[in-house]
Amino acid sequence: MKALHDFVKKFEPAKENKIAHTTYDAFYTFLFQPDSVTVDGTHIKDGMDLKRLMVQVVLALQLLYVFGTWNIGHQHFIALGLHSGLLEGFLLKVVYGLIQVLPIFIVTHVVGLGIEFLYAAKNGHSVEEGFLVSGALIPLIMPPDIPLLWLAVAIAFAVVLGKEAFGGTGMNIWNVALLARVFIFFAYPTTISGDEVWVSGIEKIGTEYYAASYNFAHHAFDAVSGIFGYTQFGLGGQAVVDGWTGATPLGIAAKEGWSGVEAVYTESQIFWGTIPGSIGESSVPLIVVGMIFLIVTRIASYRVIFGGLIGFMVAALMMNAIAPAELTAETPGIFKFMAIHPLRQMAMGSFLFAITFMATDPVSSADTPMGKWIYGFLIAFIGLIIRVMNPAYPEGWMLSILLMNTFAPLIDHYVYEANMKRRAKRTHAMAKQRDEIITKRGEMEVFDEDSEYKAVGNAGGY
């Protein structure tokens, strides 16, 4: 290892060459852990620097990338009435998903890391590692058909105005990945919320849906797969199957409740995530695996996650209590949405993904232990209210997390204030108790002296 370290060190450029040295430093710190530790003081001494801590989160997301890549292709071919089985056309689905995911992933990191490099070179410091997680999260929270130009603009907005403007990694008050998502949503609301955006390669022409023609990447795969006799994409452009809808379960539930969702998707599909939606937010089991990994490794705060689970259940049960006992065709959609069982509400949409990977961001969340419980609780409670009550946006975690990012310092402030008042009260009570003990001790001493005098007087015959 020392030989490799010495070999890499030979290529270190002069610090005067800011861009070259910044680039070298980024790769050097990625390959090797810090070579210095705190000698004095109470700091913990280990090799887990910020970059390696961020890598743990990226590792927890890998199963979602694999599943999301396959699901993009799966949803595309279901729309065409082809390869409807989970394993049918497996290679074709994965390749189709890769063709969609890789450009999103590459644009995300080229733009985001490019801006990070420019700011680091300009300011003469090392490349900050915060974008490792943001760059891994952003592709997973985007629709598979997101235009790459919109994505690039959204990432530039999030990194420059949401992060670098505040001083860089560790200084931002909002989650960077969510800022990119919220920019896309509010800049292009009608397109980003349409049914066709959630299933890749499907376009709405008039009142009909059609598959877009395949590009050179698909045809290149066909040329290679033809040699080995694998299934091919073909030319594309055909109409989708009758009755197909690209609507997500949440989009249906907002209008028709659970009965409408059941008419299109099974509970198994919703649980495993084989439904339209953002690339990596749908599979409950894989998200739970990532959640357990982050909690066990202590990368994420269990207080935020469990606080969110409690807040979600409280809000869902309150809505169940408000909803009418019997639902009819004339019942407004909002009451049908309220009546959905809490566990079904939790399985739909991106709540588990948001509370695990977004809300636990240590920079933008609350810092105090009690503040984390309150922070997670309010994210879930407010988010579910936004999901159900807002007819224009049947999901709420993006807005609720950004809102609570804003109020996280205020939550910590009141937690600190409550702790100080409690300690002051306890100190005052202890001081009062001490004074009472001293007073009683003084009275007992006086009593003992009087008793002694009386005893001496009686002995002398007085």
Q: Tokens 């090799």 label which residue? A: 47
- Tell me what pLDDT residue 454 has: 53
Burial 214-235 (b: 16+ CB within 10 A, else e): beebbeebbeebeeeeebbbee
Query: Rounded distance, CA 79 to CA 237, Å?
Result: 12
DSSP state of 213: B
φ and ψ of 341, to 5 deg = -60, 140
356: amino acid identity, one letter: T
pLDDT of residue 343: 95
Q: Which of 70, 100, 101, 102 is nearest to 88 (CA)?
A: 70
Q: Residue 105 has what pLDDT?
A: 95
The pLDDT of residue 202: 86
pLDDT, position 18:
55
Looking at residue 51, what is its pLDDT?
Answer: 65
Residues 131-184 have pLDDT tens digits of 888 999 999 999 998 889 999 999 999 998 888 877 777 778 899 999 999 998
pLDDT reported for residue 317 = 96
The neighbouring-strand residues paired with 203 are 210
What pLDDT does residue 43 have?
A: 43
> Longest Cα pair distance anywhere in the chain, in angstroms?
129
The predicted model scores a pTM of 0.84
Distance CA 315, CA 338 (A): 10
Which of 305, 392, 312, 374 shows the shortest CA–CA distance to 348? 312
Pure H helices in 263-396: 267-272, 284-296, 302-322, 333-338, 342-347, 351-353, 369-389
Neighbours of 307 (CB within 10 A): 26
Which pLDDT does position 15 carry in this prediction?
Answer: 61
For residues 115 and 172, what is the distance between their CA atoms, to the nearest angstrom?
A: 15
With beta carbons less than 8 A apart as the criterion, state whether 145 and 200 touch. yes
Q: What is the reported pLDDT for 311?
A: 97
Which regions in the chain score pLDDT beneath 50?
A: 40-45, 456, 461-462
Q: 285-299 burial string, b = 16+ CB within 10 Å, else e?
A: ebbeebbebbbeeeb
